[in-house]
Structure 1
């Protein structure tokens, strides 16, 4: 193979890779577009760089100061993952879906947009638990949340006075 043939093969590989890359980007934007529409926001906002962050913050129910945190280098990684987690919670998804959105966004954004997930609200009322993590005050199995005394046979007499 001479010099001209190898450069033609390289150019062909580059064109195919470029088309594949553009197809992935279009799929990602389409997933974001449909996700925004599911949340009742304009879908076209997904393609405008800073405005899509503002709409995302409206979807997850966070204040506009978060735009600043999402633009500061190094801080934006933490707040971006946090916002992604709140987005998946707003659609009733788990932390595993958040990991998928962070690692494989070109797969999980279309799943979120075109799949059966419905928008439940800002962070789905803090993940239907009153807060994230182990909140002992909303756990029905927590023995400290049970009312005192025997509720099946309440004793209406006051305790003896000593």
Structure 2
């Protein structure tokens, strides 16, 4: 049977943990906001579930239907790793940085967000690559 003393001890240890988790969540949100802004997208787009993945796919130069692949169990893990690698390449980094993004996410997302030497190079690091959204955005516009 639990006593009031046991509950106080649990609360004493739980409160710092909860505050740490909330602080980490806010920090990661700020990092994602900065990364989206660096890539030329609206920062607030990183806050909206599902839409944030759509914008991330836009940043890495993949079509919208990849969003459907994120809904398939096990397949989503593969495509999330692939998208993380493409995000790393989009900012001019290599596989080592991708591994950092996967295994030490808060640290490497902070580096990507706040390091001024890391800039967006275009989808998957190729500024000349055709963006799949250009065709959609060109609908209804006069050809050049």
TM-based fold match above 0.5: yes
2:73 is equivalent to residue 69 of structure 1: no
What is aligned with 1:118? Answer: 119
Name the Cα RMSD after superposition: 1.4
Determine the C-alpha separation between the residues in 2 that align with 1:78 and 1:38: 25
Determine the C-alpha separation between the residues in 2 that align with 1:47 and 1:96: 27
Residues 28 and 107, structure 1, Cα contact 8 Å, conserved in 2: no
**Which structure 2 residues correspond to residues 1-162 of structure 1 after superposition, within 5 A?**
3-116=3-116, 117-125=118-126
- Runs of 4 or more, structure 1, over 6 Å off, are none
Residues 25 and 106, structure 1, Cα contact 8 Å, conserved in 2: no
Q: Secondary structure at the match of 1:68?
A: helix
Alignment gaps of 5+ in structure 1 = 127-162
Determine the C-alpha separation between the residues in 2 that align with 1:113 and 1:46: 13
Alignment gaps of 5+ in structure 2 = 128-144
What is aligned with 2:140? Answer: none
Determine the C-alpha separation between the residues in 2 that align with 1:54 and 1:108: 22
Q: Secondary structure at the match of 2:70?
A: helix
CA-CA distance at 1:47 after TM superposition: 1.1
Determine the C-alpha separation between the residues in 2 that align with 1:35 and 1:96: 18
